[in-house]
Amino acid sequence: MKNKYLILSLFVGLLLSCNNNKKKNSPLASNEPIKKETVADSVLFSFTFLGCNRVDRKQQHDTTATNGSTANLSALKRIWTEIADLERKPDLFFFLGDMVLAESTTENLDNQLQDWVKLYNNTSFSKISNSGIEMVAVPGNHEMLYWHDYNIPNHDEWPLKGSTKIWMNHMSDFMPSDRDHVKGTDSINNQMTFSFVRKNVGFVLMNTDTYNKSSTENPHGLEGQIPTQWIVDKVTQYQKDPAIDHVFVLGHKPYYVSGKPETGHIGLPEGPVLWPKLNETHVVAMLSAHLHDYQRMQPGGKGTYQIIAGNSGSPGSATFFGYSKIDIMSNGEIKLTSMGYDKGDPYYKEMPNSPSTPRDTTSLIWNKNANPYLNN
């Protein structure tokens, strides 16, 4: 019997010893910190944006530069292909106007937009239509306005009657089916200004040359018109929505150009009213084109950004052609990257020996941000 108790005691002691050793080796039983598995931050949502790909009037019949679409074919094909080939494809692709030359007659606009859509759907030209990326487009002045006299430099551009209907006939597939838009008596003219939400991001798209009729004061109508109050109400609504963390406003024409506010043809007449509201509602950025260049600005040294990405193929001051991309990270960071390759000479020349590289990268913080392009 004593031997049985002795064996039992030895067995219990051995179990206690093993258990104590386990506790000593556990971080919970020691002063060692618990090592948490580090999870790399990931892209929650991503989108690209650009505008201004149409050729100049001198090249509109040059088959080495374009076709019936009047798009810069070499730049458009390269940009669409590079975006479609990204390892982490963007969820959205915004085309911010001036995709065709037009700016003349409804017949030219109709034919050129029709040919542009054919390019988009041509899988031998680019893989973008089968990439799964949602394409969203708004018109620019070349789709909405006309020149009165091509021989007069720096003259006014005026609303082209019938352009809204033509845009909707060809481009309505590039407008989200779940969009919200202006309702009421002005809904027809304003239907190309709209908003929608993806993930935790709200987007407000502006037609910055909304059609308007002639009047006694303005016998040809006015360029640069937007439904300002609707846009202000929408960004205010999005700001109050707890499901929306970031808001972007997009349109062809910018308000700030080269660090200065512009209300004439190069800018936005309603900018002095709109911009303070964008800052007040903490809109991340106004994303635009129109100027044939890439610029990043943070007017006032903090707050809402003005980013111009009009460097996708039209002739002008841009030294590189490409696209810009914004990544919304899972930790809330907003990363901007402008990708580009050296512009050729002439501008529609293919540049196979110039790789596309990041030309501007930053995080879009609300406070003062370094800017290698412009002084605010």
Per-residue pLDDT of the chain (376 residues; tens, 9 = 90+): 445 444 445 444 544 444 444 333 333 333 343 333 445 689 999 999 999 999 999 999 999 999 999 999 999 999 999 999 999 999 999 999 999 999 999 999 999 999 999 999 999 998 999 999 999 999 999 999 998 665 655 567 999 999 999 999 999 999 999 999 999 988 999 999 999 999 999 999 999 999 999 999 999 999 999 999 999 999 999 999 999 999 999 999 999 999 999 999 999 999 999 999 999 999 999 999 999 999 999 999 999 999 999 999 999 999 999 999 999 999 999 999 999 999 999 999 999 999 999 999 999 999 988 766 544 4
Quote the Cα angle for 87-286-294, to 5°: 65
Which domain does 166 fall in, by range?
43-363
Q: Which two tokens stand for residue 184?
A: 């009421």
The pLDDT value given to residue 36: 38
Using only C-alpha atoms, what is the Rg of the chain?
27
The reported pTM is 0.88
- Structure confidence by residue, pLDDT tens digits, 279-294: 999 999 999 999 999 9
- CATH number at 202 reads 3.60.21.10
Residue 36 resides in a domain: no
Closest CA to 211 of 189, 182, 194: 189
Q: Are 210 and 190 in contact, with CB atoms under 8 Å apart?
A: yes
Residue 373 lies in a domain: no
The DSSP result for 201-219, as a single string, is EEEEEE-TT------SS-T
**Which residues, 6 or more positions from 118, have their beta carbon under 8 angstroms from its beta carbon?**
69
Which DSSP symbol is given to 133? P
In-domain check, residue 370: no
Query: Would you call 263 helix, strand, or coil by DSSP?
Result: coil
Residue with tokens 């060809």: 170
How would you classify the pairing of strands 256-257 and 260-261?
antiparallel
Residue 292 lies in a domain: yes
Q: Do the Cβ atoms of 351 and 341 come closer than 8 Å?
A: yes
What tokens were used for 107? Answer: 């017949």
Q: 5: number of CA atoms within 13 Å, CB side?
A: 2
Residues in Cβ contact with 43 at an 8 Å cutoff, skipping those fewer than 6 apart: 88, 327, 328, 329, 330
Residue 286 within any structural domain of the chain: yes
Peptide bond into 315 cis (omega under 30): no
The pLDDT, as a whole number, for residue 153 is 58
How far apart CA 91 and CA 325 sit, in angstroms, is 11
Residue 369, in any domain of the structure? no
Q: Which two tokens stand for residue 38?
A: 């580090």
What is the four-CA torsion angle of 267, 268, 269, 273, rounded to 10 degrees? -130
- Which pLDDT score, from 0 to 100, does residue 26 have? 33
Q: How far apart are CA 119 and CA 45, in angstroms?
A: 27
The residue with tokens 């070499």 is 74
Question: What pLDDT, on a 0 to 100 scale, did the predictor assign at position 270?
Answer: 97
Question: Token pair of 91, please?
Answer: 């969820």
Q: Is residue 356 part of a domain?
A: yes
Query: In b/e form, how buried is each residue of 171-188, taking b as 16+ CB within 10 angstroms?
Result: beebbbeeeebbeeeeee
pLDDT digits over 178-225, tens only?
A: 999 999 988 999 999 999 999 999 999 999 999 999 999 999 999 999
Residue 26 lies in a domain: no
Give the count of domains, the chain: 1
